[in-house]
A and B are shown apart, each in its own frame.
Chain A
Amino acid sequence: MATIPIGADRTIAAVRAVRRSYRVLRDLPMVPMLILGVLASVAVLAPVIAPHSKLDPVKPTREQCQAKFGTPDCPYVDNAPPFWSPGGTLDTPLGTDFLGRDVLSRLLYGARISLIVALTGTLFAGAIGTVLGVLAGYMGRWWDEIIMRITDAWLTLPSLVFAILLSSVRGPGLWNVVLILALVFWSRYSRAVRGEVLTLRERDFVKLAEINGIGKLTIIWRHLIPNVMNTVMVLFSLQVGVAVIIEASLSFLGVGVPPPEPSWGLMMAQERESLMEGRWWLEIFPGICITLLVLSANMLGDWLRVRLDPQLRNR
């Protein structure tokens, strides 16, 4: 029998721990987590890492002014190209916009707006929808009938059209967009949650709780809501992507986040003239940001869905 050196069990345990954590890590969807992580930290750290202000024009160099206006002094130089084109500088790596503001800094701050609006909007929608869905599914009868009829009617309008209707009476504003997202999206949760509760209601643990005389509110809070959280999480991550697109669309149409705040959709709307003049990058950069955010949210949502619903695993 081979002798085991002192401390080997500790080494083996350490190796096992590393292996275990590797296994956990390997199962996580790396690409979307990485993108979301980067975007979230960019959003949080925007004031620290942004090279310039999000609202004020960048102070141009004398050479830039000379080249653009023929005088050594000017308040700003608009539409400086990105650093790889002739005339671009590394000081403003992605160029400046039509008011001479640094595009990179505005994109970094834009991540903030997109994430805040989409996350809080879907969070509120999720809260309203979950509560109403549980009520409809568990209380049954009139509750079910009324809540589900309203949900059905609510679901008939396409979400963008509904959002536009509400924005036409609310006007532009960051928290208005959050309110609109919450009002538009709750119906999707209540429908899914109600279906889930209808089967949960018949399960033994709920029946036992009822026999023990536990109140309806306690059953809802302690037994039903924790059990529908899987469904809610999956819907949440899938809805965040849609919410980002709706926010960008509303901002693009001029009824979302008001200027001069740097919303990605708004940046795209404001640069449509530059597109015709050949400065395509001003449209492409915010578009890529939106796509990356929505893509990673969707990938995460798909992963969660497969993860939480074993029937889908081999799909």
Chain B
Amino acid sequence: MKRYVLVRALYSVVTLWLLVTIIFGLVRLTGDPVAMKAEAGADPAYVAQLRQSWGLDRPLYWQYLGFVGRLLRADFGHSFEKSLPVRDIYFERLPNSLKLGFAAFLISLALGVPFGMLSALKVNSVWDNAGKAVALLGLSMPGFFVGLVLIIVFGIELGWLPVLGKGSSAFVWSAPSTWAMFWFRDWGHLAMPAFALGWYFSGAMLRITRSGMLDVLGSDYIKLVRLKGVPEPMVVAKHALKNSLIPVLTFAGLNLLIMVNVAVVIEVIFNWPGVGQLLYDALSNRDFPMVQGVVLMSGLMIVLLNFTIDVLYGYVDPRIRLSR
């Protein structure tokens, strides 16, 4: 087990290093952040100063070493616009994104898992076809379109829900008294963006649940349980459910992190001050260090989660840890 964890950790470090290198290389191969910032016809002295302030006038290997070295010290550089460390701005916004992501995650689970199970238990029935149709529609309607429809219906026509912002509750790192209440307030503001974000993923959850459940229901041990004469509800609730939920939960965990990171368009539509909106603001201000910082953080989060999932799987299932 120790050896397995060490090997997985090594893989994660390699993946992370490759990711950092890819980002460094692609950014310099495909474009020039200074040219984006300075526009055409800018004062050459200004451009030169920009280059120097980013260290872009140095040789490439030197830039790379500096980049990796700063990352190792958790230094993501300074934002252009606000001249604050990227890290500080990012962590100030992160709780808002986590709140939105968690809510969307719960919605996608609540929609996807029960209907996926129903669909798998009654293959080719009305339920199954309805489930398939909803999953397909979920995967085909972009979240921002769903968000705009929600705004039109519930925000403007009916006027039930607030359209913009996250409400007055705030998560302040320096004030622990705000830490708990933040998650339980202003759910009215949360409802529409969370649904719009969770919508897309609930289709995916439905499909995963359905196929996982079908796999388990077709397996030998379920046939044996049925042969024993166990009543069907027991077969599903006690024997099939647990095993079919393992892949679903893995997938859900990954989805949670993806939701935290890809809510860019939805956060823009609902003016939700999370990391997605931070990314958008940085994009429109051509604040390249900020963009890069947010992207690196999302890569780091996902690599760490993958590592955790691998370790948990190895812990649960000896076949996995011995095969390495």
Contact = CB atoms under 8 A, between A and B. Distances in A.
B320 interface: no
A158 interface: yes
Interface string B6-37: 00000000111011001100110011110010
A152 B282 CA distance: 27
A167 interface: yes
Given A165-B295, A275-B151, A171 B19 contact: no
A161 B275 CA distance: 11
B142 interface: yes
Contact of B22 (A154, A275, A298, A314): A154
Contact of A280 (B19, B145, B156, B262): B156
Given A164-B295, A298-B139, A149 B15 contact: yes
B31 A280 contact: no
Per DSSP, chain B at the interface is helix
B141 to A, nearest CB: 5
Contacts of B139: 241, 294, 298
A315 B129 CA distance: 11
Interface in B288-324: 288, 291-292, 294-295, 298-299, 302-303, 306
A175 B321 CA distance: 45
A312 to B, nearest CB: 9
Contact of B288 (A157, A169, A298): A169
Instruction: Output the residue of A152, A161, A252 with the most chain B CB within 10 A.
Output: A161
Given A241-B140, A268-B144, A165 B303 contact: no
Given A164-B279, A287-B148, A315-B211, A156 B15 contact: yes
B280 interface: yes
A298 B282 CA distance: 33
Contact of B214 (A255, A287, A315): A315
Given A165-B27, A268-B144, A299-B136, A284 B149 contact: yes
Interface in A205-264: 241, 245, 248-249, 252-255
Nearest to B286: A168
A299 B32 CA distance: 39
Contacts, number: 143
A310 interface: no
Contact of A158 (B14, B26, B141, B262): B262
In this complex, the interface size class of chain A, counting residues with CB under 8 Å from chain B, is 35 or more
B258 interface: yes
B291 to A, nearest CB: 4
B265 interface: yes
Contacts of A160: 262, 264
A61 interface: no
Interface string B251-286: 000000010011011001100000000011011101
A275 B147 CA distance: 12
A150 B18 contact: yes
Contacts of B148: 268, 275, 283-284, 287
B283 A254 contact: yes
A291 interface: yes
A113 B323 CA distance: 48
B145 A171 contact: no
Contacts of A158: 258, 261-262, 298, 302
The 3 residue pairs across chains A and B that have the minimum distance between CB atoms: A169-B31, A153-B18, A295-B140
Interface of B: 14-16, 18-19, 22-23, 26-27, 30-33, 36, 123, 136-137, 139-142, 144-145, 148-149, 151-152, 156, 211, 214, 258, 261-262, 264-265, 268-269, 279-280, 282-284, 286, 288, 291-292, 294-295, 298-299, 302-303, 306
Given A156-B303, A157-B299, 8 more contacts: A157-B19, A157-B295, A164-B291, A168-B36, A252-B144, A268-B145, A268-B148, A295-B137
10 contacts: A168-B286, A249-B265, A268-B144, A272-B269, A278-B156, A284-B149, A287-B142, A287-B149, A299-B136, A315-B211
